[in-house]
Structures are given as C-alpha cells and as structure tokens.
Amino acid sequence: MDQAIEIPVTGMTCEHCAAVIAKALTALPGVKAHVSYPRATATVESLGRATLPEVLQAIQAAGYGASLPGRTHGPAPDRRRTPLHVAVIGSGAAAFACAIRAAERGARVTMVEGHTVIGGTCVNVGCVPSKIQIRAAQAAHDQAAPRSPGIMPRAPAIDRALLVMRQQAQVEALRQAKYQDVVDHNPRITLRRAYARFVDRHALSLTDSTGQEEHLKADRFLIAVGALPAIPEIPGLAGTPFWTSTEALAAREAPRHLLVLGASAVGLELAQAFRRLGSEVTVLARSRLLSREDADLGAGLQAAFEAEGIRVLTAVSVSRVRCEGGPFVLTTSQGPVEGDRLLVATGRQPNTGRLGLVQAGVKTDGRGAIVVDDHLRTSAAHIYAAGDCSTLPQFVYVAAAAGTRAAMNMTDGDAALDLSVLPAVVFTDPQVATVGLTEQAARAQGLTVDVRTLPLENVPRALVNCDVRGFIRLVVERSTDRLIGAQILAADAGEVIQTAAIAITRRMTAGEMADQLFPYLTLAEGLKLCAQIFTKDLKQLSCCAG
C-alpha cells in the first residue's frame, strides 16, 4: 500500500470511541492505523496482512459505521449535519432521564415501549402505589394503636376498594404529568409503541400490538427495560393464583390471612401494610429479615412486627405449595402453613430475555443483567444500559442518575456514576435506613473500625414521640476518625440518612459531626449524639449537650 487510506467513520461521540476503534484495528495482523474523533476518520497507514474489507468489518464489529472511501484524502464529512439519533428501549426512570438529557444536548431521541402504559415500575407498580398504601396503613394503625398518652384507640373503618381507587388515580395523574406530558411537549423525543429486539448492532426490530414489524436504526442505544418479579421454582407454585407485588397493590379486597414469601424490602413493606389494613400476616424468611443488612436491623424489625401481631418464621424453607380451589397450604421445614393468599416477594430479575442481546454483542451476567461500567457502557461501545435490567443496584434514584449520565456520555460527555456512598431506605415502621459500610463489611475490607450504637431512648425526639424502638449506629475508621457507615432503625430513619450520606461524602470525622449544630428535638440530632459517644460517656451527657 503506497499511501494512507482515510476511512470515514460514523457514530463516534468522544475520544474513547476513537480509542476503541484504534484498538480493534491494531489487533488485525500488521495493521498500522490511527483514529481521529474530531475528523471522524480512521487513517490506515499499512494494511499488513489484512484486507480493506477486514478493516471495515473490524470498525463495524466495534459498534461504529464505516464504508469504502471514495478517495484516499480530502475533507472529512460534516458529522454535525444531522443530529445524533439515540434509541431508548423502555420508558421508566432511567429511560426518561436519558431521553430528556440527550434531547437537551441536541440528540434526536426515539423511545420504544411495548407496554400499554409508560413510566416503568416505580410510578405504576412500585414506589408510588406502595408508599400510598403504606401511608394509609400508618393512618389506620395510628387510630388503632395511638402512642400518645390520653389518646384513646378506636378501630379504623377501612374501605380498601376506595383506597385502591384513589391510589390508582394518583398513579395515573403522576404518570400523565411526569411522563406522558414530557414526551408530548418535547419535539426531540418520539415515543414508539412496540416491542424492541436487536437484529444487529445498529438496528432494532419493532413489533407493534398488531404484529406489524419494522426496523429502526440509531447511532446510540440505551437499554432500560427494568426487571420482573423473580419466581422461585417451588413444586406446585406455578399452577396457583399467587400474587406478586403488582397484584397485591391492586387488590381491592383484603385477604383474611396473607402469607408473604420473602423477607426483603418489598415483602416486608407490604406485609406490614396488609396487617395494619386488617389482614392476618405470616412472613416466611429463608434466613432472617433483611439478610443483607446488619443483623441487628433485622432483629429489631422482627420484634416490631411481632409486637403488631405479624407471625415471622425465620430459617424456613418451602418444599411445596398447594392451592386447589381453597386456601394456600405451604409445606415448610417448620410444618404446614396455611393462608388464603400468597404474596411471592423473593426478588426481581432483569427483563432482558427477548432483546436479542447476542446479536447486539451485549454481555450479561448469570442472572441476565446487562454488565455495565461506571460510564454505563456495555460490551458494545455504542450501547448503554441503566436501571434494574443492568448490574446496578435496583433503586429508582440510581436508575435516573445512570440514565442521565448515559445520555451525557452518548453526546461527547465523560460522566461516571459514583456509587461509593449509596443511601437506602426500607419503608417499614420503624424504617430501616443505611449508607456506607457496616462494621462487618468494613472489617472484611481490612479496615480497623470503631462503632457506636445509640439506643433511641437517648434521643429526645424519640422520647417525646413515645416511640423509642430502634437505634442509630455509626462506623468510623479508627486511624482517621472518618465516618464510613451509618445504620438507623427508627420511625423516620429515611428522613435522616441523607445527612449521614453527605457527611460520609464530605469525609467528615466523628468529631466534626459531634460539633455540628442540630435543631433540638429532631431525630437527626441523634447523629450528633451518637458521634459524641465516640469520646464521651453517654450517661454523662445532658439531653441537649453541645
């Protein structure tokens, strides 16, 4: 080859793209080439033992467009003549965050959703309806079991059908205002009602409700199809009318006795809500409540549940489920358990099975979750993923942050998603809120730590609320006194945990936390009190020690 060949390349959005293509080309035997993102070209100085079609194929296999050049030199094509086209598969938090930010940055966005409603899990069958129901259950419980002296209990009148009707009305209003209206008023975003499947790295097959199929090509893709309830393979279960959280939240009649299989956030939140709204409830935990959290959190929550009349079975296995026109009967390691409804809440699995990810060159893990890096890139450089279908933690705020950063990275940005400080809340009563490392996790990482636990009976706000269930726990690195973790079991723990998250992010020490000014008679003041006992005797502190 006497002179260099300059090949126009489409689809590059940043210098990382150029590096990916250069790596793919230099992997060919004897090829010498350099890639320019500003010029949108790959310049091949030597083909070595490769052929020009092989070079083009290598660029295309990396996820970019390339064609035979019309001339060896000359100006590069104007890559900004038409806007970047981004295809977003899904319409939940990650999808909308990506679509909005990509449109703001000049891209043309096609959002593809196969379901009849948009908005994803959170607004439709997750966070929003569950918190509406949990709040209603709290109101009923406060009537039936008031904590303040002098307030007489009375049985609440519960109309579950009316509750669910109003719940769904709120869901529909929020879905319209925050999802449908956003699409309708953004000229850069087009919503397509169809199921999507990759036919190759740059094209989707879209199948609508009538079975009509067409292909859609795009420069960049975001996969944000969420997750579905994971159903365990228990003999007899598949043929029964069991509930997932979706059916439980929509149920217009309360069961007499609800069995809850699973002891993580979703199952526990709904278990307590149904109990407070009139049902008997039995929770079956394979190990213990909240098995991934500090053991004291699960133990404290179990005590609160049992005080409300919820039966909790721990370390229990289920070997068979029967329901033959009557009640559910579960054969368990602790004997038979019977109830008229069964809620299966054993986790969620990525909804990736029908996407054609092999054709797109997108890798998944053993659960089917799409593997992403901290820039939300998949194994195909031009395809990104976010939300519950990916290997990210399954929280809606993580999904939204990931979608935004994916859009930035599609459009010349360089935004990483930092999950080193991730607050989380379980909306039971008392609530469970965590951030950073537990004592066990810190020691497993080889850190030497100090830990202090403040029972809520030492927090003035909890005392005047007549609710001292729970504790505040802080974990600090001994050598630096730096806060690295917090765990809270308290009625309003979710309203406090972000303060701890900010302190950890800002690398505050326990001493600095202890010196902060906190408003008196707030639960957050408990963080200050807990920080103080790293150096002081709790018994020697007054109720508002400065």
d(CA 406, CA 409): 5
d(CA 8, CA 230): 46
Answer yes or no: are the C-beta atoms of 427 and 296 closer than 8 Å: no
Give CA separation, 284 vs 213, 302, 337, in Å. Answer: 45, 12, 9
Both structure tokens of 450 = 């100090």
Answer yes or no: are the C-beta atoms of 214 and 199 closer than 8 Å: no
Please give the full DSSP string across 352-363, using - where no structure is assigned: -TTS-HHHHT--
Q: Is 306 helix (H, G, I), strand (E, B) or coil?
A: helix
Among residues 37, 64, 179, 397, the one annotated as catalytic is 64
d(CA 9, CA 21): 10
127 is catalytic: yes
Among residues 98, 122, 389, 408, the one annotated as catalytic is 122
The label of the residue with tokens 């965590």 reads 434
d(CA 90, CA 87): 10
Among residues 17, 98, 389, 508, the one annotated as catalytic is 17
d(CA 193, CA 187): 17
Angle formed at CA 344 by CA 340 and CA 346, multiple of 5 degrees? 155
Both structure tokens of 362 = 């997108």
d(CA 398, CA 93): 9
d(CA 222, CA 99): 9
Helix axes 295-307, 265-276, angle to 10 degrees: 20
Phi (first) and psi of residue 38, to 5 degrees? -60, -35
Give CA separation, 322 vs 30, 246, 249, 338, 353, in Å. Answer: 66, 21, 23, 10, 29
Q: Which amino acid is at 26?
A: T
The label of the residue with tokens 């940005």 reads 413
Give CA separation, 288 vs 64, 230, 300, 450, in Å. Answer: 49, 19, 11, 26
323 is catalytic: no
Q: Which amino acid is at 63?
A: G
Answer yes or no: are the C-beta atoms of 426 and 432 closer than 8 Å: yes
d(CA 511, CA 528): 9
The label of the residue with tokens 């893990």 reads 365
Phi (first) and psi of residue 322, to 5 degrees? -125, 140
Phi (first) and psi of residue 377, to 5 degrees? -80, 145
d(CA 205, CA 48): 38
513 is catalytic: no
d(CA 346, CA 301): 18
DSSP state of 192: E
14 is catalytic: yes
Q: Is 525 helix (H, G, I), strand (E, B) or coil?
A: helix
d(CA 325, CA 322): 9
Just list the catalytic residues. 12, 14, 17, 64, 122, 127, 543-544
